Amino acid sequence: MNVNDVLADLSRRFPNEPEYLQAVSEVLKSIEDVYNEYPEFERYNLVERLCIPDRIFTFRVTWTDDSGRIRTNMAYRVQHNNAIGPYKGGIRFHASVNLSILKFLAFEQTFKNSLTTLAMGGAKGGSDFSPRGKSDMEVMRFCQAYIQELWRHIGPETDVPAGDIGVGGREVGYMFGMYKKMAREHSGTFTGKGLEFGGSLVRPEATGYGNVYFLLNMLATRGIELKGKRVAISGSGNVATYTADKLLSLGAKVVTMSDSDGVIHVPDGLTREQLDYIFTLKQIYRGRIREFAEEYGCEYVEGGRPWSFPCDIAMPSATQNEIDGDDARALLANGCIAVSEGANMPSTPEAVDEFIKARILYAPGKAANAGGVSVSGLEMAQNSQKLSWTAKEVDDYLHRIMNDIHSQCVKYGSEADGYVNYVKGANIAGFMKVARAMMSQGIL
């Protein structure tokens, strides 16, 4: 494989998909050497079959708003690769959703799921529907309409969706309800379900907690303690709040949180009471982070991002490409020693280069945020067994998986000078398993 040739070909075929091309480029560049050690991969044209999704469903969703107006949105499900297990990946509802973003997410998901050690392929879905400002009933009607179209293509052994940006427990519940009605089965087709109908304990917490467990592993390689460290977090949704929750319980200081309107800065770190306030504000009342600043009188920067504030550790947990080259340089100038990604692809390629050049601890999302899908995998296992595990059982399992992902990154990503390149490690480890599975299954 010549990466430049492959990328040129994909750019020609998919010219309007920058996020997809960005994700593919990052992975291919780091696996090129390993790939070329196996001539049979090239003979089987593994690279193209790995980069191009198995199939994509694209459809219109029609729903009625509270005023009786008929509304339409575009919706998708990208089934990327099922070599190692049923398709698995979240659903995103956000005005920015398009095919490029979902293809990048499904591609990344394939390697992430491979890293978890569980049997899950990669997929992603979503719509440009924005739940922001919509009533409960509007969200429900949209979710139902989305599933009325998609239900034929998903199932417990086929494709198992979950949440992502704009899709939490409420949305998964509505989608599961309609799936159950259409398919006439009560099965583990969704993860992130309510506890009363097959959900797993620790699933809401899993991505944030898992990211902190991964961070602890990274810090341990340099003998650094988490306690007392200042951590800048972006976002204030599911991943961000549970990351903050675990950090607080381990004695770290959370100095920033944000939403798509702005960022709050609390130099001494959020108290437990303040974090509870944010959780209620964002998850229950669906308010704005600005309201926290008004309540507690802290600094708030409209339209700002966390990366210019002094911190020891950054944990981006909002969205893709939210740390650019300038942000990365600002973080490094302020003494940041570690970046552990809760979001998917939050750092631009230029930012990643800066982190690696500076030899700081840098964990890409596909390793650091894999805890969410891991516990989704455990939810699938519990649904198959028709059993519920205790919170401790699930959390211990999550801990083991994150430690294992870290070990895989160290195994494949250690460089001659001892530096662990987690990007390379995660990409090679994730790729090798999918590649071997695809080779064994013939040309499909």
Which residues are part of the catalytic machinery?
124
Dig out the tokens for 381 from the structure: 């296992």
- Which residue from 339, 378, 383 is spatially nearest to 358, judged by alpha carbons? 339
Task: Decide whether 132 or 222 has the Cβ nearer to ligand NDP.
Answer: 132
Minimum Å gap between C-beta 37 and ligand NDP is 31
SS3 162: strand
State the Cα–Cα distance between residues 426 and 97, nearest whole angstrom: 26
Can you give the binding site for ligand NDP, defined by CB under 6 A? 94, 163-166, 168, 207, 235-240, 259-261, 317-319, 342-344, 369, 372
Three-state SS string across 285-343, please?
Answer: CCCCCHHHHHHHCCEEEECCCHHHCCCCEEECCCCCCCECHHHHHHHHHCCCCEEECCC
Minimum Å gap between C-beta 239 and ligand NDP is 4
Minimum Å gap between C-beta 318 and ligand NDP is 3
State the Cα–Cα distance between residues 34 and 38, nearest whole angstrom: 7
Task: Decide whether 89 or 413 has the Cβ nearer to ligand NDP.
Answer: 89
Look at the alpha carbons of 25, 26, 29, 31 in this order and tell me if their dihedral is positive or negative.
Answer: negative
Task: Decide whether 64 or 260 has the Cβ nearer to ligand NDP.
Answer: 260
Minimum Å gap between C-beta 321 and ligand NDP is 9
Residue nearest to ligand NDP (CB): 237
- Which residue from 406, 398, 363 is spatially nearest to 203, judged by alpha carbons? 398
Dig out the tokens for 278 from the structure: 């944010």
Q: Residue 398: enclosing H or E segment and its boundaries? A: helix 391-413
Task: Decide whether 179 or 292 has the Cβ nearer to ligand NDP.
Answer: 292
Task: Decide whether 165 or 264 has the Cβ nearer to ligand NDP.
Answer: 165
State the Cα–Cα distance between residues 13 and 327, nearest whole angstrom: 32
Minimum Å gap between C-beta 128 and ligand NDP is 13
